Structures are given as C-alpha cells and as structure tokens.
Amino acid sequence: MRVVLYIARRLLFVVPQAIGISVVTFVLVRVLPGDPALVLLGTNATESSIQAVEERLGLDKPLYEQYWLYIKDVAQGDLGTSLITGNPVREDLLDRLPATLELILLGLLLSLLIGIPLGVITALSGSKGWPDRLTSPYGLFAGSIPDFWVGLILILIFYRYLDWVPAPLGQIQIGVSPPDKITGMYVVDSVLTGNWEAFKSSGSRLILPLATLVFVYTAPIVKMTRSSMDEVLNSGFVDHFEALGLSRRSIVLKALKNALPPVVTILGVLFGYLLGGAVLVEIVFSWGGAGQYAVQAIANADFAAIQGFVLIAAVFSLLTYLVVDLLYFALDPRIKY
Amino acid sequence: MAQPAVLADIEGPTPKGGLSRELAYFWYFTRQDRLFLVGLVIVGLSIFLAAFGPYIGPYGPQEIDSASGVALTGPSGDHWFGTDNVGFDVFSRVIAAPRIDLVIALASTALALAIGVPLGAFAGHFGGRPGIPSLLSEALLRVLDVLQAFPIFILALALVSATGASQGNVIAALTFLQAPVFVRLTRGAALSNESKLYVDAARCSGAPERAVAFRHVLPNSLAPALIASSVAVGQAILITAGLSFVGAGVPIPKAEWGLMISQGANQMILGKWWPSLFPGLFLGITVMGYALVGEGLRKFLDPTNRI
C-alpha cells in the first residue's frame, strides 16, 4: 500500500516535468536554423508553394497556437511526420529505438555483472591490494577516453588485424533476413524465434559495439561500488555482525545490499546519458539506431523528427529516475515517504 | 581582505606567513602524491600547447608538405605521426589542437562557474524561507530538474545546431550544460554553511542578507565547485570531441582532436590507424591529467588529510 501511494505521488511530479520537457523541446526546435518548407520543396520552391506548405504544417500560426496543436497531437500519440523519410515519426522511432535499446541495455547489464564484483573485490582488498592496482588505473583510463575512439581501436584490432568479427557495418549482414519482429532487437528476437542464422549474424555484429560500451562504462560502476562498499564496510553494523561471528561471505552479501543504492543511481545516470550518447558508438558501427536518426534529423532541420526523439529520450530518462527512486525504496527500508 | 586586528591576533600567523605555509604544504603534498604531480605536468603542458602549439610543430596545422606531400603516409622521420587523408601532418595537428579544445573547455567551465556558483549560493542561502527570493530559488531548481531530464549529448547537439557549428557556440552550449552542476554543488555547500556561526555573526554585525549570501556564504561554499571544475574541463573536452565527431562542433579543417578522429575513422577498417589513434591518445591523456588534478585538489583541500 505504501508503495502504491509512493508511486502515485511520485507520478504526480512527472506530469509538470513532462510539460516542462515538451515546452523546452518545442522552443528548442523552433530556433533551429533551416526552413522546413524549403527542406520539403527543394531549391525550386516558389513564394506561393512555400506559403502553402507553411500553412499545411501550421507554421504561419502564432507560436502558442503551434504549441497547443503540437501538444494535442502528442497526447494522441502523434509525433508528426518526418520531412526526410516521409514516415510518421512515431513509426520511424519505433523501428529504430529497439536497436539502440538493445545496445544500451545489454551493455549496461554486462557492465553491472562485471563492475559490481570488481568493485566489491577492490573494496575488500583495500587500497594496497592488487585489485586496486588494476581497477584504479583502468578507471582513470576508461573515464578519460572517448567511447567512439575505443570503438575505432577495437575495429582496428579485432576486425582488421585479427579478423575475429565481421565488418562494422550495421546490425545484420546484408542478405541475411532479420528475425521475425517481436521486440525489434535482432539478437533477442532471433533467440526467441530460434532463427540461428540471424542470431549468428546479428550476434557477431553486436560484439564490438557492446565491448566498446562495456569497456568505457564499467569503470564508473566499479568506482561507485568500491567507494560505497568502503563506506558500508566501515560502518557499525558490519562490526556488529563480525562480533556476532557471522561468516565473511554473509557479511559481504549484507554489506553489498546496503551499498547498492548509489550504484543504482549511477546506473540511472548512465542509462540517461547513453540514450543520447550512444549515438557516437552507433555512428562508428553504422548501427542505424534512434541516435543516428536524431543526428540525421538535426543535420536536415527535420523538426518533427528531432522533437520526437528529444521528447521520447527525455521521457525515458524521467521514467528511469522514477525507477531509480523505486529501487531505492525497495533497497532501503529506512526511506519513508 | 582586511581583518580586524583582534581576529588576526587570535589566528596567529600573519597573512604572509599563512600564504607561505600554504605553499610549503602544497609543495610537500605535490611531492608525496605522484599522481597529482603527473596531473599538474599534463595540465601545464596542455596550457603551454594551447598557447604555442600551432607554432611549434614541424609543419603548420593546415599545411601540406609539398616535398613529400602525400596523403595517408605512415609514421616516418619526416612525419612522426604520419599524414592524414588530406596530407596534413598528424603530429603538428595533434599538438595544435589544444588551441581549440582547451580554449573551449577552459572558457566554458570558467563561464559555467561564474554563472553557477552565484546562483547556487543564492539558492542555498535564500531557499526554504518565506519571500520572493525563496520562490525564485525554488523555480530555479525546478527548471534545472527539467533540464536534467534531457540526454546531455543530444541537448548539446541540438543547441549547437540551433546556433550554428562554431567554436563560440560550442562554448555557449557547454556553459549552459555545465552551469547546473555548479549550481547544485554550491547550493549544497551553502545549505550546510547556513547553520555555521559566522553566518549569524555576519548578520549581527549588520550585514544585509545580500552581503551575507555573496560575501560570506559564497566564498565558503566554493570548494566543491572548484574541485569539480577540473573534472568538468575534462568532460568539456570529451563532449567537444563528440560534437565535432558527428559534425556539429568545430568545422573542418580546423585542428581539433574529435574532428581528427572522425576524419581518420574510415581509414581504420583499412588498417591506416595513425590519423585517428594519435589524437584520441592525446585527448585521453589530457582529460586524465585534469581528472588527476581534480582528485589531488580534493585531497589537498580536505582539512582532515592534513597533518
């Protein structure tokens, strides 16, 4: 019951934030350079045809009216039509988001599976132990280099020199038909449908972009787990458990549970960042996800597409923060709302 | 700042003695913290290159060596880091790049500090009390909440595209993105300073609230933002490189690390690694240097670390 109340109250906050986001998105897109009517018509546009298009797009109306029309459409799930692809933006995004999400979600999952144990081991062995001598320099290095550069170096080593993986050209080999769509994530779908040919092709193409993300974004997870564990291991209840004679294993597990909230926070931050930030890795591997779509849209002054992407990405991060707060609630019984 | 004579007596050393003691401690600290020293050297070098980099390379940053002017030749005695796809000398460009990357990073961080710190002190000092200033600081925090929901890289991308890809606009966009961090850090510090006695003392001496906020609370709440600013410089370099990489940062053919990586990206598949590898390496070392200095400063300024 407490949880339901908490969720309800927390959701109330989401509404004004979502409105704020839609206003910012709307204003931001209006100040972008480039005339959408010109983009649509090309250089041969005449005065009257420009006017006709502007009328059709509602660009001749005052800003507040444009915003109202926009918000009405969004509420009905209509994000407008892309000027470049000619498709509804919602469909474009639904087509491309799974590719981006597959990359980010699998990347963060692997980073967690590697990062938490590494952080715990480093915290347990202290600042003079060998794990610290490995994880500290690694954290420093991984935190300082651009992810797209890491991707390029991995391509050089594992594609060009070792030839272990296919060329970095998209999610699936041309000629191999993608698996039947369930989630839209190629690797997941090919497993679900038992399509092994598609799995081999898409899986092998996922390795390098995934490795890139894992290499760069495991570092902050290790760092956060380690410092949070350090703190918890020094707290009174650990001494208490030690005095009670609990096994080291069970003490570490209990300490880990209490050390998790900051790790959940950093995970939420990374997810929010990667929604947009993964575009750099997407470009390196010609991934064709939502991020690449957004960059293309910005280059072409494709208003509706930019608006749609930024809106969806911001709403996704809002939801992420909501989930983070809920996880806190689940992990820390002291929190009352 | 002139202190009343009595206070100076109690505190012991004269201002001059205090300063030289600080310097002595700094010197001691630097010698025993090797990583901090490494960071300082990297930061020093990066600033040196930002000032003189474009002039000290064997070639100009946008000069094609007409004698051996071939594109994409590997590292050699003539071209230490090889040449890129245009025929520019990669080494000369790599050391010229701080002129752009560092100026963007340092300028945007300084501006963000100059905007974020006073706003943070304001929000921390006036927040949570009745009155218009409190409402203003609440509104400020809610606006920051909304801004934080946006994916930072896409927001940067949209801002720079909105204003046009140029060095000045990248600085403006980064300032806008970094200022909220400093607002929050300074606000947090200001909040924890509110209950300190010196704030009451300032009030009792008749200082108006504005002066309490900006002349007393603000200077005492600076440390977290200053420490974070070193890391922020590194982040600014990374975002600048990312923006240039997608073509929304510094325009071609300027010598900028991200742009250089992007120009060499297509050559990687063909095994021509030098146009991208070296700029990324220098970028990484620079960002690492600023991170090390930030970490060192945190330890240096932490009074519990002092002997």
Whether omega before B253 lies within 30 degrees of 0, making that bond cis, reads yes
Per-residue pLDDT of B156-166, as tens digits, reads: 887 887 777 78
CB contact under 8 A, B284 and A29: no
Residue with tokens 């923006």: B243
Chain B residues lying within 8 Å of A161, measured CB to CB: 271
Partner-chain residue, chosen from B242, B246, B271, that has the shortest CB–CB distance to A160:
B271
Per-residue pLDDT of A123-146, as tens digits, reads: 988 878 888 888 888 988 998 999
Partner-chain residue, chosen from B150, B157, B264, that has the shortest CB–CB distance to A295:
B157
Please, which pLDDT band fits residue B34 given cuts at 50, 70 and 90?
Answer: confident
Q: Of B155, B186, B189, B176, whose CA–CA distance to B112 is shortest? A: B176
ipTM here: 0.83
Chain A residues lying within 8 Å of B159, measured CB to CB: 28
| Region B88-99 average pLDDT | 87
Partner-chain residue, chosen from A33, A159, A295, that has the shortest CB–CB distance to B162:
A33
Give the C-alpha separation, B181 to B183, whole Å: 5
Structure token digits, residue A250: 């069970």
CB B163 within 8 A of CB B103: no
In angstroms, the separation between the Cα of residue A241 and the nearest Cα of chain B is 28
> What stretches in chain A show pLDDT beneath 50?
none
CB contact under 8 A, A20 and B142: yes
Mutate to test the interface with A, among B161, B166, B283, B295 (most CBs of A within 10 A): B161
Residue B113 contacts A, CB cutoff 8 Å: no
Residue B251 contacts A, CB cutoff 8 Å: no
Give the C-alpha separation, A124 to A226, whole Å: 9
CB contact under 8 A, B151 and A167: no
Percent of chain B with pLDDT over 70: 91
3-state secondary structure chain B: CCCCHHHHHHHCCCHHHHHHHHHHHHHHHHHHCHHHHHHHHHHHHHHHHHHHHHHHCCCCCCCECCCCCCCCCCCCCCCCCCECCCCEEHHHHHHHCHHHHHHHHHHHHHHHHHHHHHHHHHHHHHCCCCCHHHHHHHHHHHHHHHHHCCCHHHHHHHHHHHHCCCHHHHHHHHHHHHHHHHHHHHHHHHHHHCCCHHHHHHHHCCCCHHHHHHHHHHHHCCHHHHHHHHHHHHHHHHHHHHHHHCCCCCCCCCCCHHHHHHHHHHHHCCCCCHHHHHHHHHHHHHHHHHHHHHHHHHHHHCHHHCC
In angstroms, the separation between the Cα of residue A256 and the nearest Cα of chain B is 25
| Closest Cα in chain A to B164 | A33
Name which residue leads in pLDDT, A1 or B257: B257
CB contact under 8 A, A314 and B288: no
In angstroms, the separation between the Cα of residue A104 and the nearest Cα of chain B is 14
Chain B residues lying within 8 Å of A275, measured CB to CB: 151, 154
Name which residue leads in pLDDT, A13 or B50: B50
Chain B residues lying within 8 Å of A35, measured CB to CB: none
Partner-chain residue, chosen from A33, A167, A314, that has the shortest CB–CB distance to B150:
A314
| Closest Cα in chain A to B278 | A149
Partner-chain residue, chosen from A32, A153, A295, that has the shortest CB–CB distance to B162:
A32
CB contact under 8 A, A160 and B268: yes
Give the C-alpha separation, B63 to B82, whole Å: 14
In this predicted structure, what is the pLDDT of residue B5? 45
Check pLDDT > 80 for residue B16: no
| Closest Cα in chain B to A167 | B269
How many Cα atoms are found within 13 Å in the side-chain-facing hemisphere of B7? 6
Q: Of B117, B108, B98, B145, whose CA–CA distance to B232 is shortest? A: B108
CB contact under 8 A, A149 and B261: yes
CB A182 within 8 A of CB A203: no
How many Cα atoms are found within 13 Å in the side-chain-facing hemisphere of A15? 6
Radius of gyration of chain A measured on its C-alpha atoms: 24
Q: Which of A111-125, A162-176, B46-60, B198-212 has the highest mean pLDDT?
A: A111-125
CB contact under 8 A, B162 and A144: no
> What pTM value is reported for the model?
0.85
Q: Of B27, B36, B47, whose CA–CA distance to B233 is shortest? A: B47
Average pLDDT, chain B: 82
Structure token digits, residue B129: 């009390």
Give the C-alpha separation, B281 to B286, whole Å: 9
